[in-house]
């Protein structure tokens, strides 16, 4: 007798289920390379050859094979691709987790329905050469997402040929967005942003775009309880060269999912969970037909992204010394990006940051906000300190903060004896 696992019924249960299906043994998303993806795809194929079909559909500039994975046998064809931009990795791992979910729970009625209603065609990591370098562009230096018309990249040509051959009714275009992106008007990080791209400059609707909007509405309603106030709507101005926009024109409506910042020191896991919930919820709604009843207004009313406003860290109202003049009260704003650094040949992902703003930052939001009232913010001394240490205020030449310095700071609170301070917080980003 086969044991049928109870399928999740709610986004929260899917969010929790992710821990069970997430593939162990993969590096963090930013360090996943095509060799990992291929090894994993081979494992799926060996474990369930009747469930997973693999086909090489092209080669990258540097000759890395591009595979499409086919899952399910339903009449509705769905195309999904990730990491068209090499440094936007989250959804590649999320797609692998989705496959593992389908493999493990294929007997469950909800998954069985998905597999009988839909055929998924997925290209995890469309830009393996860019992923190898953790860079946006492909090995030619071209942004593949501006190559939908010129088709001068083999990766872009592969995607176009796949679309033309499969004529899918819907595509999922999976990206990461800048860590500077806030949910417009709120100052909160846009952890996931959604878009049903337009196909002309006047942003007209057609049945495909309406379907994409409904899918976005389903995803919003699934994610919002898990990330309240952190779902944004991506800029919907028409980009004549982009794949999303052109796929709609060619007859395949697309849903753009952009993964953004998350406010915890370990953002990968919650962001993977959100991706997983988004994909499973959308596909289940497509399979069951529930998507037809989704309310387009639930998409239209998602607040627009504010793509530049978000800082990574703000210290509010600390005492600061500038290069001249008296100490003053200021907010200190740190901007940060994820980067891959290699130490002794071993890569790791770091947050590289610098002081980008100083002064009244009340209009800015941040991934993390630190209350600085009563504290003095000064650069970290070269000899190193730890939280809880007591020390005198550094000499004048060691106190000054200014825009452009590395984000390596300590927050000091005055203690006895006079002139001494306790280190309340050490803030250290990579350079």
- Binding to Zn ion (CB under 5 A): which residues in 70-89? 85, 88
From the number of C-beta atoms within 10 Å of its C-beta (0-12, 13-18, 19+), residue 268 rates as middle
Contact segment (CB under 5 A) with Zn ion among 47-55, 168-176, 367-375, 396-404 equals 168-176
- Residues 225-264, one symbol each (x = binds Zn ion by CB under 5 A, - = not), give ----------------------------------------
CA triplet 64, 66, 70: central angle to 5 degrees? Answer: 150
Q: Shortest gap between Cβ of 193 and Zn ion (angstroms)? A: 11
How do 390-392 and 328-343 pair as beta strands? unpaired
CA 80 – CA 250 distance, rounded (Å): 16
Q: Return the SS3 of 355.
A: strand
Q: Shortest gap between Cβ of 205 and Zn ion (angstroms)? A: 24
Per rule CB under 5 A, is residue 155 in the interface with Zn ion? no
- 51 CB neighbour count, 10 Å cutoff: 17
CA 79 – CA 179 distance, rounded (Å): 27
Q: Shortest gap between Cβ of 138 and Zn ion (angstroms)? A: 12
Per rule CB under 5 A, is residue 209 in the interface with Zn ion? no
36, 160, 175, 233: residue in contact with Zn ion (rule CB under 5 A): 175
Rank residues 52 and 262 by Cβ distance to Zn ion and give the closer one. Answer: 262
Per the structure block, which two tokens stand in for 370? 């630190």
> What is the DSSP annotation of 11-73?
HHHHHHHHHHHSPTTPPPGGG--HHHHHHHHHHHHHH-TTTEEEEEEEE-TT--EEEEEEE--
CA 376 – CA 317 distance, rounded (Å): 9
CA 106 – CA 157 distance, rounded (Å): 33
Contact segment (CB under 5 A) with Zn ion among 47-55, 169-177, 281-289, 404-412 equals 169-177
Q: Shortest gap between Cβ of 136 and Zn ion (angstroms)? A: 7
Rank residues 130 and 309 by Cβ distance to Zn ion and give the closer one. Answer: 130
Number of residues this chain uses to bind Zn ion (CB under 5 A): 3
Q: Shortest gap between Cβ of 139 and Zn ion (angstroms)? A: 17
Rank residues 175 and 220 by Cβ distance to Zn ion and give the closer one. Answer: 175
Rank residues 77 and 175 by Cβ distance to Zn ion and give the closer one. Answer: 175
Distance of CA 82 to the CA centre of its chain: 11
Q: Shortest gap between Cβ of 366 and Zn ion (angstroms)? A: 23
Q: Shortest gap between Cβ of 311 and Zn ion (angstroms)? A: 21
Binding residues for Zn ion, per CB under 5 A? 85, 88, 175
């Amino acid at each position: 007798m086969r044991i049928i696992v109870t399928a999740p019924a709610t986004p929260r249960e899917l969010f929790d289920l992710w821990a069970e299906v997430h593939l162990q043994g993969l590096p963090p998303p930013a360090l996943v390379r095509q060799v990992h993806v291929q090894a994993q795809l081979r494992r799926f194929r060996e474990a369930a050859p009747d469930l997973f079909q693999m086909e090489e559909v092209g080669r990258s500039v540097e000759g890395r094979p591009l595979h499409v994975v086919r899952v399910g046998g339903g009449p509705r064809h769905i195309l999904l691709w990730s990491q068209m931009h090499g440094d936007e990795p989250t959804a590649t791992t999320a797609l692998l987790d989705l496959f593992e979910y389908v493999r493990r729970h294929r007997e469950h009625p909800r998954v069985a329905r998905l597999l009988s209603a839909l055929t998924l065609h997925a290209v995890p990591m469309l830009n393996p050469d860019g992923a190898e370098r953790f860079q946006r562009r492909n090995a030619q230096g071209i942004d593949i997402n501006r190559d939908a018309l010129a088709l001068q990249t083999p990766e872009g040509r592969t995607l176009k040929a796949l679309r033309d051959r499969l004529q899918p009714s819907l595509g999922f275009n999976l990206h990461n967005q800048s860590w500077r992106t806030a949910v417009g008007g709120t100052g909160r990080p846009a952890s996931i942003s959604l878009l049903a791209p337009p196909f002309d400059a006047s942003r007209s609707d057609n049945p495909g775009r309406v379907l994409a909007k409904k899918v976005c509405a389903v995803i919003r309603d699934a994610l919002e309880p898990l990330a309240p106030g952190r779902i944004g709507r991506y800029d919907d101005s028409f980009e004549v060269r982009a794949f999303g926009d052109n796929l709609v024109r060619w007859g395949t409506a697309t849903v753009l999912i952009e993964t953004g910042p998350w406010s915890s020191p370990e953002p990968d896991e919650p962001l993977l969970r959100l991706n997983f919930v988004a994909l499973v919820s959308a596909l289940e709604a497509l399979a069951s037909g529930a998507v037809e009843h989704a309310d387009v207004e639930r998409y239209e009313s998602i607040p627009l992204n504010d793509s530049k406003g978000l800082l990574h860290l703000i210290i509010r109202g600390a005492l600061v010394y500038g290069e001249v003049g008296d100490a003053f009260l200021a907010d200190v704003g740190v901007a940060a990006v994820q980067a891959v650094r290699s130490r002794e040949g071993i890569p790791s992902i770091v947050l590289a940051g610098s002081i980008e703003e100083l002064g009244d930052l009340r209009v800015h939001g941040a991934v993390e906000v630190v209350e600085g009232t009563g504290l003095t913010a000064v650069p970290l001394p070269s000899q190193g300190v730890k939280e809880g240490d007591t020390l005198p205020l550094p000499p004048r030449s060691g106190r000054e903060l200014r825009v452009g310095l590395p984000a390596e700071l300590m927050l000091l609170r005055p203690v006895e004896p006079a002139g001494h301070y306790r280190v309340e917080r050490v803030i250290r980003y990579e350079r």
